[in-house]
Amino acid sequence: MPVQPIASRMAIRGHPIHPVLIHFPVAALLGLVGTDLAYLWTGDFFWARASLWLVGIGALGGAVSGTVGLIDLLVVPRIRRLITAWCHAILAIMLLSLASLNWLLRVSEPAAAVWPMGLYLSLITAGLIAITGFLGGKLVYEYAVGVDIDAARITSLPGSKQAAPE
């Protein structure tokens, strides 16, 4: 049985906004682990300050992207019926809660908050990003949420001008 795509309501000219917005917060929160470790390794305050900025950008950007994703979840009935979408959303809320807590701990004393709680929260956040991203991928690749299947078929046909290299 062919997969019926599920259109995103939060889209610009057919392109879903949530997957576009999520890359920067994910990169910031994953980079946070590296800057925390760099601070612990070197003791240079630069890395503690970089961690503060990365966790703030990750939490704020994740909140914006998550709001767009939440609107799709609540507005599109076919997305609401997917248990994978609800699991993705719940884990994303947990992830944003931990990132926000991590940011709040660092605001007044960026260096003092890195060890042990800051690094611990950063590592848990990175693990949640992996699981949440996996579920987001399942929504796209298994349920075709926000995917224009007809356009994807046309561009992947052999001889098509837009075909991907083999």
Q: Per-domain residue ranges for the chain? A: 11-156
For helices 83-107 and 23-42, the axis angle rounded to 10 degrees is 40
54 Cβ partners below 8 Å, 6+ apart? 28, 29, 31, 32, 35
pTM, to two decimals: 0.86
Write down the pLDDT at residue 26: 98
Residue 65 CA to residue 78 CA, distance in Å, equals 20
For helices 45-75 and 119-141, the axis angle rounded to 10 degrees is 30
Residue 2 CA to residue 166 CA, distance in Å, equals 24
Cα distances (Å, whole numbers) of residue 165 to 9, 138, 160, 161: 31, 24, 10, 10
Write down the pLDDT at residue 104: 98
Write down the pLDDT at residue 148: 72
98 Cβ partners below 8 Å, 6+ apart? 121, 124, 125, 128
Write down the pLDDT at residue 166: 47
Exposed, middle or buried, 161 (CB in 10 Å: 0-12/13-18/19+)? exposed
- pLDDT under 70: residue ranges of the chain: 1-2, 149-166
Contact 54, 102 (CB under 8 A): no
Per-residue pLDDT tens for 100-126?
999 999 999 999 999 999 999 999 999
Dmax (CA) for the chain in angstroms is: 59
Write down the pLDDT at residue 161: 59
Write down the pLDDT at residue 45: 98
Write down the pLDDT at residue 147: 81
